[in-house]
Amino acid sequence: MPTKPAGTLYRGREGMWSWVGHRITGVVIFFFLLVHVLDTSLVRVSPEAYTAVIGAYKNPLMALGETGLVAAIVFHAFNGLRIIAVDFWKKGAKYQRQMLWTVLALWVVVMVGFSIRHLSLALGGH
Amino acid sequence: MTATIDSPRSGKNSSGKISPQYRRTGASRGNFEMLAWLFMRLSGVVLVVLIFGHLFVNLLVGEGIKAIDFGFVAGKWADPFWQVWDLAMLWLAMLHGTNGVRTIINDYAEKDSTRLWLKIVLYAATTVIIVLGTLVIFTFNPCPVVDGVPLPGGFCPS
């Protein structure tokens, strides 16, 4: 009786995990977008209502949450461009693995830069 | 001597047409799914530019998130450039996200009635958010007045 499925090109490998990551980050971004349109809409209620609610985004816990959200957006954006390359570039499918590692490397670089800037602005007491 | 068997999808069978069981598009759905697939890629590229620009201007320039308040929004929407930017971002992101969630519902909800209800809720939420966001962008007033009295925090011409 086989205990493990035979290896495939997709299952359990880069292709599958990038798909899982794309789905999860997509859902997270979508639900934030619903909330974000609602909170921005408070500018039509009153200036004070908007400024009060947006003030909730300006505490240390939310600063970490925003960093996580931006991490999701940046992965979804770069991996989305990779999907487009897989679909439209002649050699896209052949290099999809290398492109995923490029996506992850760029993601790390962008997120290190973003985190330093955003967290020092959001948490800094200047 | 060898017999020649035409490929079933070659259009070369006896009728001269592709047999119905090999046709990939049904009459009812048209090419909606292909257009949705294409839309995800086109809107995705535009959204990368729009959202990265949005994040850069709102979070990384100047005081970052600490500078965001009613006056910040008023300052941006005084400029038609940012109104159009935010409107495009709202519509493209909502339609892109809605189509993504529609795909996920189709993948995981097995019962017909469950899929139907989840999609009704999804499309209702999408409609409300797009209409609300569009109205907010176009009816924004930097100097809101209630009963003849300007609300505190507004930006009124002196």
* pLDDT 10s digits, A15-48: 899 999 999 999 999 999 999 999 999 999 989 9
Q: Is the residue at A78 inside a domain? A: yes
What is the per-residue pLDDT across B41-84, written as a single tens digit (0 to 9) for each? 999 999 999 999 999 999 999 888 888 989 999 999 999 999 99
Sorted by sequence, the CB contacts under 8 Å of residue A11 that are 6+ apart come out as: A5
Q: pLDDT tens digit string along B113-124?
A: 999 999 999 999
Find the angle CA(B50)-CA(B54)-CA(B55) to the nearest 5 degrees: 120
- B97:A26 CB<8 A: yes
Burial (CB < 10 A; 0-12, 13-18, 19+), residue B83, is middle
Q: Does A52 reside within a domain?
A: no
For residue A79, the enclosing domain spans 60-126
Question: Which of A44, A84, A122 lies at the smallest CB-CB distance from B45?
Answer: A84
- The answer to whether residue A114 sits within a structural domain is yes
Give a yes or no: residue A31 inside a domain: no
Question: Has residue A21 been placed in a domain?
Answer: no
Question: Which of A5, A27, A120, A112 lies closest to A72 in space, CA to CA?
Answer: A27
Cα–Cα distances in angstroms (integers) from residue A43 to residues A38, A40, B18, B112, B117, in the given order: 10, 6, 58, 40, 32
Q: Is A119 within the bounds of a domain?
A: yes
Cβ of B136 and A48 within 8 Å?
Answer: no
pLDDT digit string, tens, across residues A81-122: 999 999 999 999 999 999 999 999 999 999 999 999 999 998
Distance of CA B109 to the CA centre of its chain: 22
B69 to chain A, any CB pair closer than 8 A? The answer is yes
Show which of residues 16-35 on chain B sit within 8 Å of chain A, judged by CB atoms. none
Answer yes or no: is A32 within a domain: no
**B59 contact residues in A (CB cutoff 8 A):** 66, 70, 114, 117-118, 121
A38 belongs to a structural domain: no
Please state, for a pLDDT cut of 90, what percent of chain B lies above it. Answer: 63
What's the whole-model pTM score? 0.86
Contact criterion met (CB below 8 Å) for A39 and B58: no
* CB within 8 Å: A41 and B52: no
A117 touches chain B (CB under 8 A): yes
Domain count, chain A: 1
A76 is in an annotated binding site: yes
A chain contacts of residue B47, beta-carbon cutoff 8 Å:
77
